[in-house]
Amino acid sequence: MPVTLAKGQTIDLSKPDRGTDLTRVRMALGWDAKVVETRGLFGRVRRTERDIDLDASALLVSAGKVVDIVYFGQLRSKDGSLQHTGDNLTGAGDGDDESILVDLGAVHASVEHIVFTVNSYSGESFAEIDNAYVRVVDSAARDAELARYTLTGSGPHTALVMARVSRTAAGWAFTAIGAPGRGRTAHELVALALATLS
């Protein structure tokens, strides 16, 4: 059963049924295009959808520095352990709109944290974005949902450090962060992402 996470909450990414570490996880981002109502002649209400371009990114951190970024402009990490599934420019359709696949066993040994961010490339604030969420699923177990964090209504900012996966002595742990910021790309969020680690 999935866990709905509060800001700052951490869960251990181990399989409770077998007591073994997860090997593959997928961080998924979903949102909907904004429905805008306008009044036309004679007070007639017209509903239209406005595309919103959110971007999911992952920053790999080693010794307190970002050593790699996976985003729409670089779909694979340098070590091959992370793979972005592609850029969704609108939020149209049901379900997950962008995903980042993580092979935890292949992450370079020097990487201590993988920080996941979302930013509004098209500039809308999170107060304007409907049904936005991030979730982590066990890719090796038919995408069984492990945790979910709701992003909608989080405020007037244009970016968010969503969550991180951190290497621990026992394996990996997932933490929902929810730190708001401003920026249109993951590169503009490096300082904020690093600040959430302390």
DSSP calls for 63-121: TTEEEEEEBTTB-B-TTS-EEE----SS--SSS-SEEEEEEGGGS-TT--EEEEEEEET
Bridge pairing between strands 24-32 and 98-103? antiparallel
The predicted-structure confidence for 177-190, as pLDDT tens digits, reads as follows 878 899 989 999 99
pLDDT of amino acid 177: 82
CA distances from 7 to 59, 86, 114, 180 (A): 19, 27, 17, 11
pLDDT at 193 over 60: yes
Distance, in Å, from the CA atom of 68 to the CA atom of 84, rounded to the nearest integer, reads: 13
SS3 124: coil
Q: By the 8 A CB rule, do 30 and 95 touch?
A: yes
pTM of this structure: 0.80
Tracing tokens 């970002």 back to the chain, one arrives at 66
The phi-psi region of residue 88 (left if phi > 0; otherwise alpha if psi is between -120 and 50; otherwise beta) is: beta
Domains and CATH numbers, the chain: 3-195 (2.60.60.30)
The predicted-structure confidence for 108-167, as pLDDT tens digits, reads as follows 999 999 999 988 887 878 777 778 887 878 787 777 777 777 776 666 888 888 888 899
- Give the residue from 15, 8, 14 showing the smallest Cα distance to 164: 8
**Phi (first) and psi of residue 185, to 5 degrees:** -135, 160
Amino acid at 30: G
- Give the residue from 79, 59, 53, 61 showing the smallest Cα distance to 71: 59
pLDDT of amino acid 18: 43
Q: By the 8 A CB rule, do 119 and 188 touch?
A: yes
CA atoms within 13 A on the CB side of 105: 6
pLDDT of amino acid 43: 74
